[in-house]
């Protein structure tokens, strides 16, 4: 079951003496709204509070809970403010913006309905990307929507504060109404212009991504707007979608379908200078004495209950993040594997001659002492005791003498051994008494043929 959780915060700011913003968080009806009032004295506060109260009363009284019910509630809010201004001279000419979101029963199931009049805004954060869903009903906002003014030019346009539509100024007002699919994890942001005049969209998105709790996110947004100047009242509602009734697949198709774009592309103002704090908003109400106000005819009349002014449909979102993550993981694994292979070759690709078990000269494979998890192993036991090594080489051998191959290691072992002492025996006459006492004839006898009777080879038998 689709479910919404919201957090809200509001602040008067650092310049204004009163907070003319009002907001509504109605959990039981999943109805949320922000209104930014305009008018002298207390009129602005009355306008925004009146609009929000009428919106809630009307919507709750309508059991259908449909997107159309939200539009009717916004129209009722307009009538309530207009009537109050008409009957109370002190409130004459007051007006307010109104942006509202409700979880409604659309034709295809639960859907988020967004109603908007004025230049308070509704954004959606999805997959970490912030997108402005509403179109500002201001002079520059209309021009931007028509493609006649660049978004970055609008930020500094001298008439950017002039509204073309507001609640309560006329007996009737066109209400922008559209529906957006609700995905689990989607986050909606409703805000008055006091937020967006102080913080770039990138800064807003960063806070929304960093703060999972909607209440904390709302408070931090308002706090940061104050720190950035607080030139206007600041009001924020953060609405999280918890559960989407498995409608993600349907919504994905809707996103990909031509004409499904329900959002205007959002300019990236991260690198732009902050707004001029002295630039204050002007209203649509000509009778307010303490503000430079103006009334501008509505440039484009949007039919009631129609989608917002057409903007070029956005192409289906590419899941680049997933591709990038996979590519990064593959590259990282390849680098790690190459590094491990290099270490292994370095650690195991050599030999050294050292002292092994029993004090024998031994040829090892690896590096003396090992490297990381690669320990040396015995390649060959030479059977040569260390004592047989030239003393001058024994110290180096104990430390481990590196050789590039097994053959070199064997050759080294051959070189460092103490040369063997010659074992040639020298005859010692004194030790052979028989020799000294034997008569010469006897000696002759010992070297003569052992058998004198044997005929000499030169006299073979049978010779005449």
Which positions touch Mg ion (CB under 5 A)? 36, 192-194, 232, 281
Q: Which is nearer to Mg ion, 50 or 192 (CB)?
A: 192
Quote the strand ranges of 45-201, DSSP E: 95-96, 98-106, 109-117, 121-126, 129-132, 176-180, 187-191
Q: How far apart are the first and last CA of the chain?
A: 138
Task: Give residues with Cβ within 8 angstroms of 314, minimum separation 6.
Answer: 261, 263, 265
Question: Residue 331, Cα to own-chain centre: how many angstroms?
Answer: 17
Nearer to Mg ion, 11 or 262 (CB): 11
SS3 at position 142 = helix
Least separation in angstroms between CB 39 and Mg ion: 12
Report residue 105: phi and psi, to 5°: -95, 95
d(CA 33, CA 43): 19
Identify the bridge partners of residue 403 per DSSP, sorted by sequence position. 351
> Which CB sits closer to Mg ion, 29 or 295?
295
The closest alpha carbon to 296, from 107, 166, 102, belongs to 166
| The residue count for the chain | 464
Smallest gap from Cβ 261 to Mg ion, in A, equals 27
Nearest residue to 46 (alpha-carbon basis) of 83, 76, 20: 20
- What are the beta bridge partners of residue 130? 125
Residue with smaller CB distance to Mg ion, 101 or 225: 225
Query: In terms of CB distance, is 180 or 221 closer to Mg ion?
Result: 221
What's the closest the beta carbon of residue 97 comes to Mg ion, in angstroms?
8
Burial of residue 85 (number of CB atoms within 10 Å: 0-12, 13-18, 19+): buried
How far apart CA 342 and CA 344 sit, in angstroms, is 5
What is the Cα–Cα distance from 307 to 316, expressed in whole angstroms? 19
What's the min distance (Å) between Cβ of 188 and Mg ion? Answer: 19
CB-wise, 11 or 232, nearer to Mg ion? 232
Smallest separation (angstroms) from Mg ion to the CB of 277:
13
User: C-beta of 244: minimal distance to Mg ion in Å?
Assistant: 32
Token readout for 383 is: 């059977």
Q: Given the complex with Mg ion, which of 35 and 65 has the nearer CB atom?
A: 35
Name the residue among 7, 27, 22 with its Cα closest to residue 238.
Answer: 7
- The least distance separating Mg ion from the CB of residue 16, rounded to whole angstroms, comes to 9
With CA atoms as reference, report the closest residue to 218 among 229, 207, 231: 207
- As measured in angstroms, the least distance from the Cβ of 222 to Mg ion is 13
CA gap 82, 47 in Å, rounded: 9
Whichever of 66 and 192 has its CB closer to Mg ion, that residue is: 192
Q: Which is nearer to Mg ion, 8 or 347 (CB)?
A: 8
Least separation, in Å, of the C-beta of 43 and Mg ion?
Answer: 14
Q: Which is nearer to Mg ion, 166 or 347 (CB)?
A: 166
Are 64 and 107 a contacting pair, CB within 8 Å?
A: no
Nearer to Mg ion, 58 or 231 (CB): 231
For residue 6, the cross-strand partners are 239
Give the nearest distance from C-beta 272 to Mg ion in angstroms: 20
DSSP characters over 250-308: HHHHHHHSTT---SB-----TTSPPPPTT-----S-TT-TTS-------SS-PPTTPPS
User: CB under 8 Å to 316, separation ≥6 — which residues?
Assistant: 255, 256
Show the tokens assigned to 214: 């909607």
CB 23 within 8 A of CB 237: yes
Smallest gap from Cβ 308 to Mg ion, in A, equals 21
């Amino acid at each position: 079951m689709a479910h919404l959780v919201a957090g809200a915060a509001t602040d008067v700011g650092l310049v204004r003496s009163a907070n003319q913003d009002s907001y509504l968080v109605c959990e039981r009806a999943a109805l949320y709204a922000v209104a930014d009032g305009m008018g002298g004295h207390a009129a602005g506060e009355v306008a925004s509070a009146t609009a929000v109260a009428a919106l809630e009363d009307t919507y709750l009284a309508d059991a259908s809970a449909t997107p159309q019910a939200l539009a009717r509630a916004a129209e009722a809010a307009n009538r309530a403010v207009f009537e109050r201004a008409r009957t109370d001279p002190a409130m004459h000419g007051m007006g307010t913006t109104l942006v509202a979101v409700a979880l409604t029963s659309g034709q295809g199931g639960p859907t988020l309905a967004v109603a908007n009049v004025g230049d308070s805004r509704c954004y959606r954060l999805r997959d970490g990307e912030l997108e402005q869903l509403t179109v500002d009903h201001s002079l520059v906002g209309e021009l931007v929507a028509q493609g006649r003014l660049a978004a970055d030019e609008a930020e500094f346009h001298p008439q950017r504060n002039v509204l073309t539509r507001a609640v309560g100024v006329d007996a009737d007002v066109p209400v922008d109404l559209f529906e957006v699919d609700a995905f689990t994890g989607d986050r909606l942001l409703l805000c008055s212009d006091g937020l967006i005049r102080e913080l770039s969209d990138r800064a807003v998105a960063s806070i929304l991504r960093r703060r999972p709790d909607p209440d904390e996110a709302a408070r931090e947004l308002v706090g940061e707007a104050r720190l950035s100047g607080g030139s206007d009242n600041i009001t924020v509602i953060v609405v999280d979608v918890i559960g989407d009734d498995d409608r993600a697949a349907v919504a994905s198709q809707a996103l990909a379908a031509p004409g499904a774009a329900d959002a205007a592309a959002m300019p990236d103002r991260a690198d732009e200078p902050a707004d001029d704090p002295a630039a204050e908003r002007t209203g649509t109400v000509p009778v307010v004495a303490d503000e430079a106000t103006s009334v501008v005819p509505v440039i484009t009349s949007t039919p009631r209950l129609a989608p917002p002014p057409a903007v070029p449909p956005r192409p289906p979102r590419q899941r680049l993040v997933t591709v990038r993550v996979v590519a990064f993981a593959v590259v990282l694994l390849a680098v790690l594997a190459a590094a491990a292979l290099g270490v292994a070759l370095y650690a195991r690709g050599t030999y050294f001659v050292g002292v092994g078990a029993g004090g024998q000269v031994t040829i090892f494979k690896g590096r003396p002492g090992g490297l990381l998890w690669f320990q040396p192993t015995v390649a060959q036991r030479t059977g040569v005791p260390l004592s047989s090594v030239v003393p001058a080489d024994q110290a180096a051998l104990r430390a481990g003498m590196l050789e590039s191959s097994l053959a070199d290691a064997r050759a080294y072992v051959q070189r460092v051994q103490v040369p063997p002492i010659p074992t040639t025996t020298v005859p010692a006459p004194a030790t052979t008494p028989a020799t000294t006492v034997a008569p010469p004839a006897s000696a002759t006898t010992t070297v003569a043929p052992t058998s004198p009777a044997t005929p000499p080879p030169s006299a073979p038998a049978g010779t005449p």
